[in-house]
Structure 1
Amino acid sequence: MTRHRGGYALLSALVAVIVAVSAGIYAAADAGTARPDTFAAPPAPHNPAQPASTGVWATTWAAAPDGAEPGTETLGTAGRTVRNLVHTSVGGTGARVTLSNLYGTRPLTVTHATLAVAAADDSPAAAAGTLRRLTFGGATTVVVAPGGQAVSDTVAVALPADSDVLVSVYTPTSAGPVTFHRHARQTGFTADGEHTEDVTGTAFTAAGTHWRYLTALDVLGPEADGTLVALGDSITDGITATEGADRRWPDILAERLRAAAATGADVPRYGVANEGISGNQVLADGRERGGPSGLSRLDRDVLGRTNVKVVVIDLGVNDILRNRRLADPDAIVTGLRALVERAHARGVRAVGTTLTPFGGHRGYSGAREAVRQQVNAAIRDGGVFDAVVDFDKALRDPYDPRSLRPEYDSGDRLHPSDLGYRKLAEAIDLTDLKGSATAAL
């Protein structure tokens, strides 16, 4: 790094203030939502249900709540059943879900909720014998305060790895705006009336490619030793991956981890939680889209996940592209260091990626490319992350390093194709995901 060295101490101080304020805000919003994450974990004090099995808790799927669903401000999903379809990274014999009302303006009342293995890909039908009624503190009804979340009791159910799971929620009244994840790349379903226990799925119609209310699915069992969280922007969110095919790079990483473990290779056994938000930045909150900054949401979306062992951080491109002025590379790197320091404080290993090319994108300029190169140089030089994955090298065109290689480009000169997402996952050395956090960088 050659620019702005004299202001480094001031930048560090400013980021520290931002981190402290942001952490306070999100900690308050998530107060009282901690979940057990240890071996053969007993239920939380408010949860009288007994564990469904022994083993280790891990998050098998997750999605960050990134806003309020447009058009739901008045009616929400009152009188309707939402059936989310999600994909597991590891399996288990016990399960629980997390429901969020982060963007609701009134209490979210859920009177019925169920979980089931899907009968087929992209289908709202449940596989025979797998549907389970969900309870919360022993009751079928739960009321989630505005800005809050609720974790269900554990249910005994065999959830295979690499399978689709249905989580259905019925809300009789409106909580105001529906908390959702915009770019699910997966069809969601709704039905008029209460149909949470409908195994045929005939009452459900396709209703967009969003995940509503549901933010995590945890499993208890012998397949995983903990959770890997991917914290990133649209490239992690997989905004251009083939819909319904689970081809985002975290999906492919989960596939690689399962395959390597099956051969007996000495690799970590992790559930993979994709906490990407399209438009997300390290430093700044999104005005309309992009969600809270990485610094703001780290506690909720990473450290708040179950039994998290490692975080893979792929953030910074939007800090460059969405800054109306020229972004300061030192500020971005300082923000990344702050994320790592907070992860280390919780014993979480932090792996970072270099920023991928965007030559030819409408936001490209020579000055912005220079900022990207400076951030990548700092990341490669060490002193930021415990290990580095060179996403830039994996995707760049050898004949034009400012741009994506054509076969890895979705067509917009910024986001990868399915082949590009696979290339990113393959660039990760699985042994780099092992181990504890470095004591000091």
Structure 2
Amino acid sequence: MNRHRGFALLGGLIGVVALVCAAIFGGFGLLATGSDTGADAGADSANSTAATSGTGTGTGGPRGQNPPPGRAAPASADAWTGTWATAPAGVETGMPYGHPGRSIRNVVHTSIGGTSARVTLSNLYSPRPLVIGHASVAVGAGGPRAVDGTLRQLSFNGRAAVTIPAGGQLISDPVALRVPYDGDLLVTLFTPVAGGPVTYHPSALQTSYLADGDRTQDPSGAVYTEPSKVWRYLTAVDVQNRESRGAVVAFGDSITDGVGSRTDANSRWPDILADRLSGRHIGVLNEGIGGNTVLQDSVQDRKGESGVSRFQRDVLDRAGVRTVVIDLGVNDILRGQERDPARITAGLREMTRQAHTRGLRVIGSTLTPFGAHRGYTAENESVRERVNAEIRAGGVFDDVVDFDRVVRDPYAPHRIRPLYDAGDGLHPSDAGYRAMGRALDLELLETKAPAAL
């Protein structure tokens, strides 16, 4: 039996030890909530960066309160822009106590670059605190290797270690780092003791890595011999970029998540969009979750909360957001067996309403065809067509991108065009995602004010 599996067998006892360790590690600042003293508690709430990250601006400014569990205030005062994000979907199967004594090296792909970076870590779906012993960020050189000279230790309120409360999240202090456009970053976390279930994103389509021991400062990556296809604890990376014009959030289900595209190829439709926007200095954040719906929560199935429920956290609370593209509703028909198209479009309108409260423009997609999928029925197709008719008629979103027309077979409109079909009749191939990413009007994405519905 290897060492980290042995921890899991002692889970009940170790769970108690984790709480004790939080107090023991307190000498080096583990507890992130309720541990700041006088000056922190009285920090000027107008400092939006401090309020978001729980730190100063990196230039000696005051520190603000951390956001409440599961929430983060959007950063705007000093040009923080999201370069990468993912939506927490549930808890990792078979890991009830996390990965004690191990380092987790998440590999993520940037959209916009910058001169400084910060990361968001989430313990959203755990009933127990999560101890992070050390954390680091570096520019990726392929696989788990870091580009020479780019590895930076992360801190939280100036401390190397932190405890993330059950159900909570924390944002790191900023670090000076030349973050590339369209490049890889390595965000590495060491979890010294057992926690609760791992909050994660199950369909990364990107290879990340695990190693035994504290390997957060290892630039070679040689010890990271265990690959994995998920993202653990990490939910966002933001950058500072003086040329930034904000970020676009792609919000949806597995089709936004990129299921059907090649692993490590960054060929999801939001990736294609990010390539097109890079010269305009606009970030793209992928908040798709496989199996997600507009109306039903499916956290237990690792398909996330409903789109309406998670919209605040996964869209409105992201840094520098200006526009959201919504492609959601197919799973309400296929998984949720929703037969009333008006309920689906009402949920989509509710998301548009939420976006408008923040002055965001909403571009919505028609629902793509699934005629060759095993879940197809004539009744399901009728619901899809009626949802699409209402979307095209206006009054649901500010603007429409017609992904249905982009990928459907002109000779059999209820099916995906064969060239664009990944093989299951539902998910697009790389070629299909490329066509979708190219279909969006970049001028609409840059329009600031939402249209009146």
Contact 1:309 1:348 in 2 (8 A): yes
What does 1:6-155 align with in structure 2 at a 5 Å threshold?
42-44=49-51, 46-50=54-58, 56-73=79-96, 75-120=97-142, 123-155=143-175
- Residue type of the partner of 1:140? A
Asked if 1:426 is matched to 2:438, the reply is yes
Q: Is the 8 A contact 2:250 2:286 kept in 1?
A: yes
1:338 equivalent in structure 2: 350
Residue by residue over 1:313-356, the C-alpha shift from the partner in whole angstroms, topping out at 9 and shown as x without a partner, is: 000000010124x5210000011000000110111111100000
Offset, 1:225: 1.5
SS at match of 1:383: coil
Cα displacement (A) at 1:257? 1.0
Taking the aligned partners of 1:218 and 1:211, their CA distance within structure 2 comes to 16
- Asked if 1:273 is matched to 2:275, the reply is no
Does the 8 Å CA contact 2:49/2:56 hold for their aligned counterparts? no
Tell me the equivalent position of 1:417. 429
Name the structure 2 match of 1:395.
407
How many angstroms apart in 1 are the aligned matches of 2:265 and 2:315?
A: 25
- Asked if the contact 2:290–2:303 (Cα under 8 Å) also holds between the matched residues in 1, the reply is yes
TM-score, length-scaled by structure 1: 0.86
Aligned match of 1:295: 308
Counterpart contact for 1:43–1:50, Cα < 8 Å: no
Q: Distance in 2 between matches of 1:237 and 1:126?
A: 26
Give the Cα separation in 2 of the matches to 1:176 and 1:327.
Answer: 38
Which stretches of structure 1, 4 residues or more, deviate above 3 A after TM superposition? Answer: 40-46
Question: How far apart are 1:307 and its partner, in Å?
Answer: 1.5
Q: Tell me the equivalent position of 1:16.
A: none
Match status 1:309 vs 2:322: yes
Match of 2:297 in 1: 285
Aligned-residue RMSD, C-alpha: 1.8
Q: 1:304 to 1:418 in 2, by over 3 A?
A: same
Verify the 8 A CA contact 1:49 1:138 in the aligned structure 2.
no
1:55 and 1:270 map into 2 onto residues whose CA distance is 16
SS class of match (2:251)? strand
Contact 1:386 1:437 in 2 (8 A): no
* Per-residue deviation, 1:437: 3.7
Say whether residues 1:162 and 2:182 are aligned partners. Answer: yes
Q: How far is 1:43 from its partner?
A: 3.4
State the Cα distance separating 1:202 from its structure 2 match: 1.0
Q: Summarize the Cα distance change of 1:327–1:290 in structure 2 as closer, same or farther, 3 Å threshold.
A: farther
Q: Deviations over 1:113-144 (max 9, x none)?
A: 00000122xx1111111000000011111110
Matched residue type, 1:242: R
Higher relative contact order (CA 8 A, sep 6+): 1
Q: Which amino acid in structure 2 is aligned with residue 430 of structure 1? A: L
SS in 2 for 1:372: helix
> SS at the partner of 2:95?
coil
Q: C-alpha distance in 2, partners of 1:113/1:295?
A: 33
Report what 2:259 is aligned to.
Answer: 239
Task: Measure the CA separation in 2 of the matches of 1:380 and 1:355.
Answer: 11
The runs of 5 or more residues in structure 2 that have no matched partner are 1-32, 35-46, 61-76
Aligned to 2:359: 347
- Corresponding residue for 1:21? none
Partner of 2:369: 357
- Give the direction of change, closer, same or farther, for the CA distance of 1:89–1:211 in structure 2 (3 Å limit): same
Q: Is the CA contact (8 Å cut-off) linking 1:310 and 1:433 kept in structure 2?
A: yes
- Alignment partner, residue 380 of structure 1: 392
TM-score (norm 2): 0.84
How far the C-alpha of 1:55 sits from its partner, in A, is 6.4
In the other structure, the counterpart of 1:19 is none
Give the count of matched residue pairs: 391
Whether the 8 Å contact between 1:354 and 1:388 is mirrored in structure 2 is yes
1:6 corresponding residue in structure 2: none
Consecutive unaligned residues in structure 1, runs of 5 or more: 1-30, 33-39, 262-268
Sort the Cα spacing of 1:101 and 1:41 in 2 relative to 1 into closer, same or farther, 3 A.
closer
Residue identity over aligned pairs, in percent, reads 54
Superposition deviation, residue 206 in structure 1? 3.0
User: SS state of the match for residue 43, structure 1?
Assistant: helix
Distance across 1 between alignment mates of 2:130 and 2:120: 13
2 CA distance for matches of 1:170 and 1:181? Answer: 18
Q: Report Cα offsets for 1:163-217 as digits up to 9, x if no partner.
A: 1000000011111111110000011101100010001111112332000000000
